[in-house]
Structure 1
């Protein structure tokens, strides 16, 4: 059932930015803001025709866009990214739009649920209702999905079965169950559950193995990393390694074209994050001879930085990391938030590979949609 088109709050488009996330945070005015976390696909999906689908691509032009929410004002919005044809990776912001959200609802997942290579938004509320906002490139069409039972939490969306439609991902911590709903637009085709190891949780989702089927990165309090590699017949679990016991996983992405995975770990005691790489080495017969999981390099962060988005923001078909800081000291009072990106994350490990730059400021009250790590 199609409910109708959304009305853009055009007059508020200048008020832009901040992420919807996990725990409760208290701002400087003493106001408590509840944030809703979910996972976003970490890297683009490569198709057989050598094209790809970028995560968070609202208009379907092949570039990831920045998605925002303002919980206090009941708004969501986007910044479209624009192609830049210079030799140096450059962020260019395109058109922006803001939309009113039905009271009590928040975004619980982002993904292309109808296979048109545009990012759609899935909303939920305290009553466990689900609504789909389907992107048409500029605005959204709204439809009702249904209702989900108690004890289940919406993790995000990703294409589990490889049909080009993102599916809804679920977690039941009490029963140690992972679940997914196979989707075709707002229609639920099938519901599946998979037993997961108790004490673990999903830390990242993406097409890390560069197949059509979604992969999952799991971790636990033991600071270990498990890969659930997706296939048409289900998931295969592989232990990758261990990471800094003073850190936690904030994201992951493909590690170039050499069959590896980058895992990003933010240190909880000092402002830095570390890039770990899992690499497979092949023998002359094309079989995996050995694997390694090592910390490759650490990069500095500012106090208060968190990973707000990962995607193809520069057109170089790589996973660019966009870090946000809601109270950047150098920003003017009206736009205290600051975005910094790290590019060239898929460069071969022997090369330097990382560049960072401040790319934009944003206004108080806005948060990038997704996990606030």
Structure 2
């Protein structure tokens, strides 16, 4: 959780679906820095935090040790300018390192940054975003358990949900799933 008024950060510790406790960690008073995703960027089986400074375009990862930030690392890349929007993080190439999922807002193409830890390797084209802007990105998860995170979308008008299934070759196919009541918002 992030308090958007003062920069405080909290983590809920869960046991399955049961809330255990809330833990406060180091606040970030510069509200231009926003958390845009989580993933294991250094293969230590800890969930790390992906940040973007919406003012400068800088990107960073907090490498975590449980609920404590171990260190922050800036991601060096020439590609992160204002036309790019971070959608989230996931392991899209099956190497057990989190990658960064991006939307090019000028042409609606979706890419991911293939990462080796916190080092940018290359930009990989995934697919064109749904042309209809009623489809909204909701998250990433390995829905088919093949070792590659898939991309979850939902339609804000008719309640349809869908996934872009990923495999060793990248984007594989779309799958339209069940529709949900529009009063519910999905996240993966």
TM-score, normalised via structure 1 length: 0.43
Contact 2:101 2:112 (C-alpha < 8 Å) held by counterparts: yes
Q: State how 1:154-173 maps to structure 2 within 5 Å.
A: 154-173=86-105
Q: Whole-Å Cα distance in 2 between the matches of residues 107 and 252 of structure 1?
A: 15
Are residues 248 and 164 of structure 1, via their aligned partners in 2, closer, same or farther at CA, if it must alter by over 3 Å? farther
What whole-Å deviation, never above 9, does each CA across 1:115-164 have from its counterpart, x for those lacking one? 11111111111221111110023421111113512221101101101111
Q: How many residues are matched?
A: 179
- Of 127, 131, 134, which residue of structure 1 is paired with 2:63? 134
Contact 1:178 1:195 (C-alpha < 8 Å) held by counterparts: yes
Q: CA RMSD in A?
A: 2.6
My pick for the range that moved more, 125-134 or 210-219, is 210-219
Q: Whole-Å Cα distance in 2 between the matches of residues 224 and 78 of structure 1?
A: 31
Q: Whole-Å Cα distance in 1 between the matches of residues 33 and 177 of structure 2?
A: 38
* Unaligned 5+ runs, structure 2: none
Does residue 76 in structure 1 map to residue 9 in structure 2? yes
Are residues 98 and 178 of structure 1, via their aligned partners in 2, closer, same or farther at CA, if it must alter by over 3 Å? same
Q: Whole-Å Cα distance in 2 between the matches of residues 129 and 158 of structure 1?
A: 19
Contact 1:203 1:249 (C-alpha < 8 Å) held by counterparts: no
Q: Whole-Å Cα distance in 1 between the matches of residues 20 and 162 of structure 2?
A: 36
Other-structure match for 2:26: 99
Other-structure match for 2:47: 119
Does residue 217 in structure 1 map to residue 152 in structure 2? yes
Q: Which structure has the bigger radius of gyration?
A: 1
Displacement after TM superposition at 1:90 (Å): 4.6
Q: State how 1:56-71 maps to structure 2 within 5 Å.
A: 68-71=1-4
Q: State how 1:33-44 maps to structure 2 within 5 Å.
A: none
Q: Whole-Å Cα distance in 1 between the matches of residues 20 and 83 of structure 2?
A: 42
Q: State how 1:1-373 maps to structure 2 within 5 Å.
A: 68-81=1-14, 90-93=18-21, 96-103=23-30, 104-125=32-53, 126-140=55-69, 141-146=71-76, 148-196=80-128, 197-199=130-132, 200-220=135-155, 221=157, 223-241=159-177, 243=179, 247=182, 250-251=185-186
Are residues 211 and 198 of structure 1, via their aligned partners in 2, closer, same or farther at CA, if it must alter by over 3 Å? same
Classify the secondary structure of the residue corresponding to 1:157: strand
Q: Whole-Å Cα distance in 1 between the matches of residues 29 and 19 of structure 2?
A: 32
Are residues 90 and 155 of structure 1, via their aligned partners in 2, closer, same or farther at CA, if it must alter by over 3 Å? closer
Q: Which has the higher contact order (CA 8 A, sep 6+)?
A: 1
Runs of 4+ that moved beyond 6 A: none
Displacement after TM superposition at 1:110 (Å): 1.2
Displacement after TM superposition at 1:109 (Å): 1.4
Displacement after TM superposition at 1:217 (Å): 2.3
* Unaligned 5+ runs, structure 1: 1-67, 84-88, 254-373
TM-score, normalised via structure 2 length: 0.81
Are residues 237 and 73 of structure 1, via their aligned partners in 2, closer, same or farther at CA, if it must alter by over 3 Å? same
Displacement after TM superposition at 1:222 (Å): 5.3
Are residues 219 and 97 of structure 1, via their aligned partners in 2, closer, same or farther at CA, if it must alter by over 3 Å? closer
